Amino acid sequence: MQQSGTKLVIVIVSMAFLLGVTSWWFRFEAAHRASQFWGPEASRLIAESENLEIIDLGPDLGQGFAAQLTAGVSTDLSRARGQAHLRHALMSDRNYVWDEPLDAAVTEWRWGLRFHEGERETLVLLAKNLKEVGKPVSSSEVIAAFSCEPMTASLEQYFDALGLSAKPPVDAASTASE
């Protein structure tokens, strides 16, 4: 008695389709809120841009973060080890506390991660304690911020590996006079 393999092929194709949809749904749910927070263009740049630099904004943002970006010391991280993990962490919902937005005005912003490609760029702000993350809202001095405490230990480890946490804060006034 000869049996057809048609049923087996249908079962395999159906399982592959079901697993593909399940995988897509899991990835969508794992990064949905972070993608909404950053926005479509910024999310793409964070995940895929070739260029990444970190800017030491200095000890305080008395002049505002836009002025500090030009005065701050920049380090190119485009070829740094671990940046893929940093990008993935920034795009993962589980690394944020979404319950309530933070008051960005009282946060001590210290670092700027600049993801850029050609003329397009996005900026991710990190607090001095690496427990808050923010983004500038439409080229103004307003910052939308959330706690990123679930990834603070990883950020500290990454900054230590890059030798950034040992750097003393940049004093914008002393670098301007030099």
Find the mean pLDDT for residues 13-39: 84
Tokens of 5: 């393999």
pLDDT at 51: 93
CATH number of 29's domain = 3.30.1490.410
Amino acid at 124: V
Helix/strand/coil for 112:
strand
Strands 73-76 and 132-136: unpaired
Is there a domain that residue 1 lies in?
no
Is there a domain that residue 80 lies in?
yes
Query: Where is average pLDDT lowest: 96-105, 125-134, 153-162?
Result: 96-105
Tokens of 106: 């009282």
Find the mean pLDDT for residues 118-147: 87
User: Where residue 175 falls among pLDDT bands split at 50, 70, 90?
Assistant: very low
Strands (E), 87-154: 109-117, 120-127, 132-136, 143-147
Which helix or strand (DSSP H or E) is residue 80 part of?
A: none
- Domain region containing 75: 6-177
Is there a domain that residue 94 lies in?
yes
- 């910024």: which residue's tokens? 42
Is there a domain that residue 61 lies in?
yes
Is there a domain that residue 10 lies in?
yes
Is there a domain that residue 157 lies in?
yes
Query: How would you class 150 by CB atoms within 10 Å of its CB: exposed for 0-12, middle for 13-18, buried for 19 or more?
Result: middle
Find the mean pLDDT for residues 100-114: 85
Strand partners, 113: 54, 124
- 85: phi then psi, degrees, rounded to nearest 5: -70, -40
Q: What is the pTM of this model?
A: 0.74
Is there a domain that residue 119 lies in?
yes
Q: How many domains does the chain have?
A: 1
CA atoms of 173 and 71, how far apart (whole Å): 9
Per-residue pLDDT tens digits for 58-90: 765 555 666 566 667 788 888 888 888 999 999
